[in-house]
Amino acid sequence: MPLRRGELAKRTGCNIETIRYYERIELLPPPPRSGNGFRSYDERHLTRLAFIRRARELGFSLEEVKDLLRLVDGGHYTCAQVQELSLRHVDEIQRKVEDLRRMGRALNEMAEQCSGNQVPECPIINILSATP
């Protein structure tokens, strides 16, 4: 049964503007139009949009999603190819986690220098305002 864009958005939990954007950048193929001129999405669009949303929820960049979809669209992918893309993404996540830990430690060190008193002088502001 054909779906309109609003119905597609509701069924996938995806914003209508996001669907338009995915069509514009060719992640989601443009749907055919019905006799009355409305876009007519089908099960393929629903499945593809669900794939994109899940990949984005896992932190895959739009470029990584495009790479995954190229493999799927070509129909000649191997599990090893998908695994390689996924493991590269895991490495990137690990780098980000380490960066976040470093930032957390730096903020904790700054916070430890703060007395927490009701005074206008604040070491955190002073550190953030310091010129290199």
Specify the CATH number of the domain 1-77.
1.10.1660.10
User: Which CA distances in Å does 112 have to 58, 101, 118, 120?
Assistant: 34, 16, 16, 17
**Partners of 3 in the beta sheet?**
41
Q: Which helix (H) or strand (E) holds 104?
A: helix 79-112
pLDDT tens by residue, the chain, 132 residues: 789 999 999 999 999 999 999 999 999 998 988 888 888 999 999 999 999 999 999 999 999 999 999 888 887 888 899 999 999 999 999 999 999 999 999 888 888 888 777 777 787 888 888 877
Tokens 């604040």 label which residue? 122
User: Could you give the CA distance from residue 45 to residue 22 in angstroms, rounded to a whole number?
Assistant: 11
Asked if 124 and 111 count as a contact pair (C-beta separation under 8 A), the reply is yes
pLDDT for res 59: 94
Q: Model-level pTM?
A: 0.76
Count other C-beta atoms under 10 Å from residue 2's C-beta: 15
pLDDT for res 120: 76
Q: Positive or negative, the Cα torsion across 30, 8, 46, 54?
A: positive
